[in-house]
């Protein structure tokens, strides 16, 4: 047994805007119905930020809660990674704004752009900083105000997304170097830019000089999701030697209930192990995994030693999986 550094999750937190918008509410602005949205996606409600709430506000609130639960002072954080596709400004990074809101002045802070896979990307990047000893304590935040990039006249997309933020505090701790260790055990990241046109935003500072709106070929995204996500999950299981039925909690990116059920069935994960928040939050992109992890924590479903599987796929395509022990 070789002593290794692992990224142990010390705390989790979340923050949602107060305003809740129901399927019924949306049926008043676009030609849709509660029945269609629930049947096709599993979504019932979503939280939508008001004009005064920015991505950094949501992210900083989630980070503060995670820090309090971890019992770690913000001044001891030396890495902040914020996964977001809806930054406050084109620059500086939202992570740097959150750094200042938390009163953190050391280390580095930067954003990660992998859309819905952003949190999985952020965890993997922070894990690599911690494992190599470059940083000691990291905040990984997923924060989005996706409502700002939705085309509110397009019923095929505007009903699916919501706003929110979640965060975890990671700390580098010496472990034994076995699969029974606490912390992040295996990560996999993938991307394939050939699929850009299936899910993208039709604007940008470097092209149209506008922010743009989300465009999606939902049927095609759906077609790729189960196979691509199952592939990276299986790789993390092979690397650690775990079987899918040994996973205690499955915390997927919350895009569509039919996708989540399909992945769990393909892998053989029991339905009661899936953490589902889609009905309450919709798809909150990079925020959805830490929001779901926070729900599981508050419901006492996460215990010391729990084996947790997280996965996501998003625009790019990007996709990835993280296997960790709480």
Q: Which residues are near ligand ACO by CB under 6 A?
A: 32, 36-37, 40-41, 115-116, 155-156, 159, 199, 216, 218-219, 221-222, 225, 255-256, 259, 283, 285, 314-315
Specify the residue, 253 or 273, whose C-beta has the smaller distance to ligand ACO: 253
Q: Please report the beta strands in 221-281, taking only residues with DSSP state E, as ranges in sequence order.
A: 249-252
Shortest Cβ 195–ligand ACO spacing (Å): 11
Specify the residue, 278 or 308, whose C-beta has the smaller distance to ligand ACO: 278
Specify the residue, 67 or 214, whose C-beta has the smaller distance to ligand ACO: 214
CA nearest neighbour of 257 among 242, 235, 274, 243: 274
Q: Please report the beta strands in 42-197, taking only residues with DSSP state E, as ranges in sequence order.
A: 45-47, 79-83, 108-112, 137-145, 163-175, 183-191
In angstroms, the CA 287 to CA 157 distance is 18
Phi-psi group of 209: left, alpha or beta (phi > 0 → left; psi -120 to 50 → alpha; rest → beta): left
13's CB contacts (< 8 A; 6+ apart) are: 61, 62, 63, 64, 65, 66, 67, 68, 69, 166, 167, 168, 294
Alpha-carbon distances, residue 126 vs 108, 139, 281, 293 (angstroms): 11, 8, 26, 17
Is 116 an active-site residue?
A: yes
Shortest Cβ 132–ligand ACO spacing (Å): 29
Q: Which helix (H) or strand (E) holds 57?
A: helix 55-70
Catalytic residue selected from 23, 256, 283, 294: 283
Based on its alpha-carbon atoms, the radius of gyration of the chain, rounded to whole angstroms, reads: 18
CA nearest neighbour of 22 among 30, 34, 39, 31: 34
Shortest Cβ 222–ligand ACO spacing (Å): 4
Nearest position to ligand ACO, beta carbon: 218
- Half-sphere exposure (CA, 13 Å, Cβ side) for 3? 3
Specify the residue, 99 or 256, whose C-beta has the smaller distance to ligand ACO: 256
Is 283 an active-site residue?
A: yes
Catalytic residue selected from 47, 116, 158, 281: 116
Number of CB atoms found within 10 A of residue 168's CB: 30
Specify the residue, 91 or 152, whose C-beta has the smaller distance to ligand ACO: 152
Specify the residue, 219 or 300, whose C-beta has the smaller distance to ligand ACO: 219
Number of CB atoms found within 10 A of residue 124's CB: 23
Task: Supply the residues annotated as catalytic.
Answer: 116, 253, 283
């Amino acid at each position: 047994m070789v002593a290794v550094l692992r990224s142990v999750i010390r705390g989790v937190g979340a923050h949602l805007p107060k305003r809740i918008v129901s399927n019924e509410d949306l049926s008043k602005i676009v030609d849709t119905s509660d029945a269609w949205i629930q049947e096709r996606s599993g979504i019932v409600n979503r939280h939508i930020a008001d004009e005064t709430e920015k991505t950094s506000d949501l992210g900083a609130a989630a980070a503060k809660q995670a820090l309090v639960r971890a019992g770690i002072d913000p001044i001891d954080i030396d890495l902040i990674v914020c996964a977001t596709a809806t930054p406050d400004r084109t620059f500086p990074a939202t992570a740097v704004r959150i750094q200042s809101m938390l009163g953190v002045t050391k280390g580095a802070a930067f954003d990660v752009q992998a859309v819905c896979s952003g949190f999985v990307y952020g965890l993997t990047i922070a894990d690599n900083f911690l494992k190599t000893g470059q940083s000691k304590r990291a905040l990984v935040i997923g924060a989005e105000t996706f409502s700002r990039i939705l085309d509110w006249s397009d019923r095929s997309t505007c009903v699916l997304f919501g706003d929110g933020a979640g965060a975890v505090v990671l700390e580098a701790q010496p472990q034994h170097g076995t699969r029974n260790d606490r912390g992040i055990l295996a990560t996999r990241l993938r991307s394939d830019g050939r699929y850009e046109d299936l899910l993208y935003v039709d604007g940008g500072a470097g092209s149209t000089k506008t922010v743009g709106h989300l465009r999606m070929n939902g049927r095609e995204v759906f077609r790729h999701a189960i196979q691509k996500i199952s592939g990276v999950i299986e790789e993390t299981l092979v690397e650690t030697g775990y079987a899918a039925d040994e996973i205690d909690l499955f915390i997927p990116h919350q895009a569509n209930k039919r996708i989540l059920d399909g992945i769990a069935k393909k892998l053989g994960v029991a339905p009661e192990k899936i953490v589902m928040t889609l009905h309450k939050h919709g798809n909150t992109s990079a925020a959805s995994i830490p929001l779901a992890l926070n729900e599981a924590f508050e419901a006492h479903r996460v215990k010391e030693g729990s084996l947790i599987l997280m996965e996501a796929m998003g625009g790019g395509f990007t996709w990835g999986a993280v296997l960790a022990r709480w």
